[in-house]
Amino acid sequence: MAPHLSPGPFALGRLIVGAASLGLVVAAVAYARGVTLQKPVLARVSALNVTWLACVVGAVATAPFGPQLAGELAAGPPDAAAWLVYLGLFPTALGFTTWAFALGRTSAGRLGAMTYLVTPIAIGLSWLILEEVPPAVAITGGALCIGGVVIARIRVRFRPALAADQA
C-alpha cells in the first residue's frame, strides 16, 4: 500500500511548516527571480512597457479562471467590481510601474532592501485608516524593519591605503 501524503503541516525541528508556508517560500523565490530577470530588461525597455507586459502575462496565466470571475462578479454587489478595478489600477499597476522605474535606476539588492518598509507602512496605515492599534511587538518589528533598511542603504566607502600609511 502506498504511503499517505498529507497536505497538512509537518514539523521541521521546532518549526511547523504547512502548505501555506511552503507556498510563500515558492512565491518569494519566484518574485526574487522575476526581479533579477527584470533588471536587465529595464536597460532596454521602459518601466511602463515592462509593467504592461507583466500584466499581460498575469492575465494569460489567470485566464482559465475568467468564467468563474465573471460569474462571481455578476452575483456579487456592484462595489465589488469597482474595488477590483481599483486594486488593478492603483496598488498593482502604479506600484509595479514605480517599482520598475526605481529598479531601472538602482541595484536590485538595494531596492529589494527597501521592501522592508512595507511592514511599518502597513502598520501605520492600518492604525491611521482602520483604527487598528498595533501591539507593541508590531511597533518593535516595524522599527527593526526601518533600522534594517537604513543599514542596508548605508554606502561604505573604502579609500586605498597610501604607502606612507603603511610604514
Residue-wise pLDDT for 69-117, tens only, equals 999 999 999 898 999 899 988 888 888 899 899 999 988 888 888 888 8
Nearest 5°: phi and psi at 147?
A: -60, -40
**50 contacts: CB under 8 Å, gap ≥ 6:** 38, 41, 42, 100
- Say how many residues make up the chain: 167
Per-residue CA distances from 160 to 90, 126, 156, 164, 166 (Å): 47, 48, 13, 12, 11
Under DSSP, the state recorded for 5 is -
Q: How far apart are CA 56 and CA 163, in angstroms?
A: 58
Residues lower than pLDDT 70 in the chain: 1-16, 157-167
Whether 120 contacts 145, CB under 8 Å: yes
pTM over 0.95? The answer is: no
* Beta-bridge partner residues of 91: none
